Amino acid sequence: MQRMTGSLIGAIFGALFVLVNAQSPLNAVTVNFLRVAACLGAASVVAMWFATARRKQPAAGPRRNMFSRGYLIVVAAEAILLFGGVRLLTAWGRPEQTNVAWVAFVVGVHFIALAPVWKDWSIAVLGVVLTLLGAAGLVLASTAAVAWVPFVSGVLSGVVLLIGTVTFGWRAMTARTA
């Protein structure tokens, strides 16, 4: 159930990435499609979370707590990097779009750091993709294509989070019913 809760958190943040960052230079039809798809993706994870919670039977033996001290350390470091980095970017006069690239980069690194804490290397794959999308946005922010940073680092990161959480939720649901 803890993993499904982690997926639920990821789906909500993935949807927020899309909802906040789907904007110009994309056309209105594309923006609306992305926003609706993101909401549907997040809603599907919410539904899978409730279905899993309803069917959940107590596990035999000791359970590992995903939200352990190691998790709290990674999340604290993430918060410091997020807020400190955004303040530095602002102080350096970087374009506002750079912030979303920084957020995607730090969130990606946070998933990579959580992989050994959770002993789940599949989450590192998600982290690498988000880190690369954040890095791409940081590079784009220094070019004439700065308007595309919210799409590359925000929308695409949100889509990756949503695809990952929907996939994990679906696998968890089908494994329980099989």
Residues 117-132: tens digit of each pLDDT: 988 888 899 999 999 9
Range with the poorest average pLDDT among 89-98, 118-127, 144-153: 118-127
Distance separating alpha carbons of residues 159 and 14, to the nearest angstrom:
6
The predicted model scores a pTM of 0.90
Q: Which sequence spans correspond to the domains of the chain?
A: 2-177
Residue 25, judged by CB atoms within 10 A of its CB (0-12, 13-18, 19+), counts as exposed
Given pLDDT bands bounded at 50, 70 and 90, which one contains residue 175?
confident
Q: Mean pLDDT across the stretch 76-98?
A: 97
Please determine, for residue 113, whether its predicted confidence score (pLDDT) is greater than 60: yes
Please determine, for residue 61, whether its predicted confidence score (pLDDT) is greater than 80: no
**Contact yes or no for 103/137 (Cβ under 8 A):** no
Please determine, for residue 53, whether its predicted confidence score (pLDDT) is greater than 90: no
Using alpha carbons, list the distances in angstroms from residue 158 to 41, 62, 95, 116, 154: 10, 34, 21, 23, 6
